[in-house]
Chains A and B, each alone.
Chain A
Amino acid sequence: MSATEPEERHDVVLHVNGAPHAVRVPARRLLSDALRHDCGLTGTHVGCEHGVCGACTVLVDGRPVRSCLMLAVSAQDVQITTVEGLTEDDGTPQGKLGPVQQAFADCHGLQCGFCTPGFLTTITAGLRDNPDPTFEEARDMIAGNLCRCTGYQNIVASVLRAAELARSPVVEEVAQQPSRDPGGNA
């Protein structure tokens, strides 16, 4: 392909958070960039852009996948969930935080917040596969994501708290102080 030749573009429909997004992209457009620039969903963050850091993790047909390691053109037959899709509908325009998001707020599971979208999607899928993780399993669940602020302790606590919230959402109303016990109350 010479520099003078215009780059070929492809019409692709991405299904993101239940809504179709018709985009026109060059084949080399990474899914992470398509979500951010073409769909305007900037919740997905781009860190290392070669699959190491996990910040760009989204759910593809429900499973966590690095969006920087997929091409947008290759994502046309799948359902994508980004961090924007993790909120729950409560009738307000912004919705209500999902259990994993709420747990991060409760447990101070984020500081700068850059890596958080990747953690939230990863943990959402992780808790679906294992709704009652041990401390070790919670650590294992997030082993593929990098965070440079928290030291991970509060993220592990958030995993356990999210499991607690998902089991009994009502706990959220009464628990002022989330448990700092690594074993959790489970």
Chain B
Amino acid sequence: MKPAPFAYRRPRTLDEAVAALAGTPGAKVLAGGQSLVPLLSMRLAAPAALVDINALPDLDQVRCDEEGVRIGALARHADVLASADVRRVQPLVALALEHVAHPTIRNRGTTVGSLVHADAAAEMPMVLRLLGGSVDVVGPSGRRTVAADDLFVGPLESSVASDEIAVEAFFPALRAGVGVAFREIARRHGDYALVGVAALVDGESVRVGYLSVADLPTVVDLSGVPEGELGERALERLDPADDIHASADYRAHLVRVLTAQVVASARELAA
């Protein structure tokens, strides 16, 4: 239960961090570490080096404007959740963050880190995808924006290259007349969700995001689907699995129930 040895760099500027990452083969970026450190301790990951970005300036900012919410790579979940501006500009970000782990984990864990960790059982990757957000990354060849649909490529695998650092996430604002809702079921509040579902209703368009019931954070278009068939139709695109916490059948049941609930809530808010 102790990490394997690794080299450690603590750069003071983004340029230094990019150089350190590029110059150290097998290096990984350390931000909040709430997913990475357990992986190190259980030796499921053994990077040759860590580039700790916690001393970089200005990355802890959370900025909101009419376009949306921009979250810096060192903004802790707790800070994003505490922001009244975030809740106003895109309520779904706050609704989902309330379910991200326990408050103690949210005090250290970062929202951007959770995105690039790309866990299909995590809330924020699914929300980024449902809202059509993006992540900005910086590497040796400069800065680029990765759309959410291109970010998640496999279980715990993002399309951020090994020499790139994710510096900012963008969640588009909630527009007038659009409704959003989020629900999840976990054994205890704060534990990993058995199933989590979010809905975005915009006029006739009904899109629903799912976590913990597929290998990737998944969004299903349910526009035009009759009320009583929403969950069933979504399950055609999902793959609920058995584990120690819940059976596949129970997860499918939760998909049916929660899909109907979140679509109804989002519809109500959109009206």
Contact = CB atoms under 8 A, between A and B. Distances in A.
B105 A50 contact: no
Interface in B1-59: 1-8, 10, 30, 33-34, 37-38, 40-42, 48, 50, 52, 54-55
B63 interface: no
A64 B41 contact: no
Contact of B102 (A28, A49, A144): A144
B104 A74 contact: no
B71 interface: no
Nearest to B108: A65
A143 B38 contact: no
A71 B33 contact: yes
A49 B104 contact: no
B78 A63 contact: yes
A70 B3 CA distance: 12
Contacts of A49: 1, 41
A74 B52 contact: yes
A1 B33 contact: no
Contacts of A51: 34, 37-38, 105
Contacts of A64: 103-104, 107
Contact of B190 (A28, A33, A144): A144
Mostly, the B contact residues are loop
Contacts of A74: 10, 30, 33, 52, 54
Given A50-B1, A143-B102, A69 B6 contact: no
Interface string A138-153: 0010011000000000
A143 B105 CA distance: 12
Given A71-B37, A77-B55, A65 B104 contact: yes
A81 interface: no
B105 A144 contact: yes
Interface string A56-80: 0100100111101111011001000
Given A50-B1, A69-B108, A74-B33, A10 B8 contact: yes
A44 B33 CA distance: 20
A110 B104 CA distance: 21
A101 interface: no
Contacts of A26: 5
A104 to B, nearest CB: 18
A66 B8 contact: no
Most chain B beta-carbon neighbours within 10 Å: one of A54, A57, A69: A69
A50 B4 CA distance: 15
B38 A60 contact: no
A68 B41 CA distance: 9
A77 B55 CA distance: 8
A7 B10 CA distance: 17
B33 A50 contact: no
B108 A70 contact: yes
Given A30-B2, A60-B107, A143-B102, A50 B41 contact: yes
Interface of B: 1-8, 10, 30, 33-34, 37-38, 40-42, 48, 50, 52, 54-55, 78, 101-105, 107-108, 188-190
Given A1-B5, A28-B3, 4 more contacts: A1-B48, A28-B40, A70-B108, A71-B30
Closest 4 CB pairs of A and B: A144-B102, A27-B8, A50-B38, A28-B3
26 contacts: A7-B5, A27-B7, A28-B2, A28-B6, A30-B3, A33-B2, A49-B1, A49-B41, A50-B42, A51-B105, A54-B102, A57-B104, A60-B108, A64-B104, A66-B104, A69-B34, A69-B38, A69-B108, A71-B33, A71-B52, A77-B54, A143-B188, A143-B189, A144-B102, A144-B103, A144-B190
